[in-house]
Amino acid sequence: MTQPTTPVREIASWGAITVDEKLTLRELAAVLHAQGIGVALVESSDGSRAVVSERDIIGALAADADPDEIWSADVASDTVVYAPDDEPIIDVARRMEEHGIRHVAVVAGGTIVGIVSARDLLPVFTNHVREWHEERD
117-129 pLDDT, tens digit per residue, is: 999 999 888 877 7
Burial of 75 (0-12, 13-18, 19+ CB in 10 A): buried
For residue 85, what are the CA distances in angstroms to 12, 32, 34, 100, 115? 9, 23, 26, 20, 10
Report the number of distinct structural domains present in the chain. 1
**DSSP 8-state class, residue 78:** S
Instruction: Find the domain containing 119 and state its range.
Output: 8-136
In a domain, 2, yes or no: no
**Cα 88 from chain centroid?**
17
CATH number where 117 lies:
3.10.580.10
Give a yes or no: residue 1 inside a domain: no
In a domain, 61, yes or no: yes
Query: Is 14 a domain residue?
Result: yes
The per-residue pLDDT for range 76-135, each reduced to its tens digit, is 998 899 999 999 999 999 999 999 999 999 999 999 999 999 999 998 888 777 877 777
Q: Is residue 3 part of a domain?
A: no
22 in any annotated domain: yes
Give the amino acid at 35.
Answer: Q
